[in-house]
Chain A
């Protein structure tokens, strides 16, 4: 008998290489044609502690993490203690034979026989891969792609360990955790949310990124730094987040499509710069990867606590759009969208993601990067001279020229300014300029991505969610539907502006509406009420730093319904 859906949890201390094993196993599964959802849980430390790398794998598309564990790959004793309770009825614990565990569910592996100490990770990879029914040569090829080119000697030793692990497994009772094989697996990518954001930014024509490292946004910046030379962009580690956003504004003012990426605390420092980008009408894409606050909070965990913050950050009034991707694919498509809007409407645009999605590897179909065009930076020549950078127009968008690219002079000011960019205290000009800037919002309000409605309108229960909780909420709904209940979901991947006509009908038609969010106060529910008057009274709120799972949502629903 083979399996169609399994959950694997690899646990150990920081520094034991569990992320490497996890990535290799996940990549092997993707190459074999399976769908995956990875959840990484780690502590804010470089060595020790307890970290996990969970891979939910399925023949059909999997969209959410799962709590019960079918295969527990324990790299230390603590992993067994901490996760034994999560083991499913037929679950198996893979653990070194020296670990003192007397448990029927454990498979004691003689790692020391299979591998020299520093290669014991590869032995665990081999044993797990073999039990899942992966082909040895596929795992070996994945391993080779990671180590082979740089370290042929290491690769050879790895290959021998892998072979020994597979051989050892063949002498064990038949695995009950073999996945049904997939013939002719499709070519897919294994990518996490942050990698998709970085790839998308390159595709959109990003030419300048400044950053100050902050978990969980850092990997976006490191990824782009790694590709900067060959893709012709500048990546600069700034002295602080204030410098980062001001550098991005300066670069964008001079014509380079620009981005910053940070998390809540760093974004707090950027707030004045957000306002500057709006006032000087300078395009900039701002990625805020959320983690639990206030202050330093839980640096390596997840939360959706900064919706209201990002919505309101920056003094004064100006239009903005906020995208909140729910999947890795959406990370790609919505980052491009943010770049397009930033250039088109000349101002700050936001991408709001979180640690769960940032680090969550998925199997995705390749993107059409060969045909998707980069954003075009407006450099159109204008008739009237002298040039007016902030010319009053019907849609609020002024023709944009760049300094040094023509004989026209470009003047921008953080003070209120005249059409030609000079500081003014003429209060009638002030009124005109406020209205001009706000008119730009009308343009992108007409193009808001509608929330994704799944299920019937006349449902007994409508679950409302946003951002990275998309998969868990949909799966929870699907499980309830399998139980015969009429459940629908309404998911927002663009959380601002909200266009009530796009979703009010759904809210009003449902017998019961529940908002599901990873925060303690229900920020989307509050926003919907503010914008529409519709009050979502019931909420499933989780704020322990962990991502939502279908199980945690169902438990939450039980307590309120």
Chain B
């Protein structure tokens, strides 16, 4: 029986009031609800305040480069498909620096859960605009306000028919935890974009701002209806829908490789008879 304590309790380097605390709690709850042992789970993160999150729980962890957690996770999952692989990093890491990997991951549909802490601002580097910052958002780097259009990860993921697309809010821990648990259970790529306040650098999209807008999808909502999902994905006004926005049951990437049906690649022998035959092909 796995309990919260198995995932440990650590001191953190986050600002008091940061949304990361609630997300960390939701993650641990989801892992316990999934009855996963810490050694069965690999967290891969990049760089940023969100990317520190895996340091604050017990599991296998690979804290790599800014923007590059998805490729590392992809490689690890292919080397050992039995691992539950979760990528946890921020909006800058996944939608900015790692944008190409994000697009490729949506297409690849590997069984990895991507948890994006989306606070619409860069925290670690102290307050520059992120890809999800709203137009007009003023920072020291964008003193006249952001002029780029805001990146909508949900709309992009739904448009690409990614395997599992959800949005959560750090202020609704149990709801978020449920999304994470379902994302982990989903066989294929899962995106969970988590809205969270940044108490130090985002004075616009505050806890109250999100709380007023985040609105769980009704039980009757059908996430397998792609056209309905495209409409929901574009809603970002007085109400911001949260929940599972789209899902499908396309074959996960790793299942295209017969070699992986036997489990991890480590420890496999080299078939030297076949190798000799390959070599003799050059004769």
Contacts and interface: CB of A to CB of B under 8 A. Distances in A.
A255 interface: yes
A203 interface: yes
A199 B279 contact: yes
A371 B63 CA distance: 38
Contacts of A412: 61-63
Given A239-B100, A243-B71, A255 B266 contact: yes
Interface stretch (A58-66, A88-96, A186-194): A186-194
B244 interface: no
B275 interface: yes
A236 B278 contact: no
Contacts of A402: 80, 266
A251 B104 contact: no
Interface stretch (A109-117, A414-422, A449-457, A532-540): A414-422
A254 B282 contact: no
A234 B71 CA distance: 14
Interface in B10-69: 37-40, 42, 44, 47, 52, 55, 58-65, 68
B167 interface: no
B73 interface: yes
Query: What band does the interface of chain B fall in when counting residues whose beta carbon is under 8 Å from A?
Result: 35 or more
A526 B249 CA distance: 58
Contact of B60 (A242, A252, A256, A411): A411
Contacts of A409: 38-39, 58-61
Interface string B170-182: 0000000000000
Given A251-B79, A403-B60, A367 B265 contact: no
Given A239-B101, A254-B79, A234 B272 contact: no
B80 A227 contact: no
B72 A253 contact: yes
B162 to A, nearest CB: 15
Of listed A202, A404, A422, residue having the most chain B CB within 10 A:
A404
A228 B260 CA distance: 12
A369 B279 contact: yes
Contact of B267 (A208, A228, A377): A377
A255 B100 contact: no
A374 B270 contact: yes
Interface in A179-228: 187-191, 195, 199, 202-203, 205, 207-208, 210, 227-228
B268 interface: yes
A415 B268 contact: no
Contacts of A148: none
B43 to A, nearest CB: 9
Nearest to A204: B270
Interface string B268-283: 1111111110111011
A479 interface: no
Contacts of B70: 243
Interface stretch (A123-131, A164-172, A272-280, A466-474): A272-280
Contact of B266 (A188, A254, A280, A410): A254
B78 A238 contact: no
A250 B275 contact: no
A504 interface: no
Contacts of A411: 60-61
Interface in B143-194: none
A248 interface: yes
B83 interface: yes
Contact of A190 (B79, B80, B260, B282): B282
A404 to B, nearest CB: 4
A210 B70 CA distance: 14
A8 interface: no
Interface string B81-125: 011000000000000000011011000000000000000000000
B72 A249 contact: yes
Nearest to A402: B266
B232 interface: no
Contacts of A255: 79-80, 264-267
Contacts of A190: 282-283
B39 A251 contact: no
Interface string A375-412: 00101000000000000000000000011111111111
Contacts of B82: 404
A187 B279 CA distance: 12
A239 B103 contact: yes
A219 to B, nearest CB: 13
Given A252-B79, A253-B76, A191 B282 contact: yes
A366 interface: yes
B276 A370 contact: yes
A246 interface: yes
B275 A210 contact: no
Of listed A189, A233, A249, residue having the most chain B CB within 10 A:
A249
A231 B265 CA distance: 11
A84 B203 CA distance: 76
B64 A404 contact: no
A253 B44 CA distance: 11
A236 B80 CA distance: 15
A240 interface: yes
B275 A231 contact: yes
B258 A229 contact: yes
Contact of A250 (B75, B276, B282): B75
Nearest to A373: B270
B83 A403 contact: yes
Interface string A355-377: 00000000000110111001001
7 contacts: A231-B270, A250-B74, A254-B42, A258-B79, A366-B279, A379-B267, A414-B47
Given A238-B71, A240-B100, 18 more contacts: A189-B282, A199-B279, A205-B270, A207-B79, A232-B259, A234-B260, A239-B104, A247-B78, A254-B42, A255-B266, A256-B75, A276-B68, A366-B280, A369-B279, A379-B267, A409-B38, A410-B61, A414-B64
A-B CB proximity, top 5 nearest: A250-B75, A255-B266, A246-B71, A250-B72, A403-B60
Interface of A: 31, 187-191, 195, 199, 202-203, 205, 207-208, 210, 227-234, 236, 238-240, 242-244, 246-256, 258, 272-273, 276, 280, 366-367, 369-371, 374, 377, 379, 402-415, 421-423
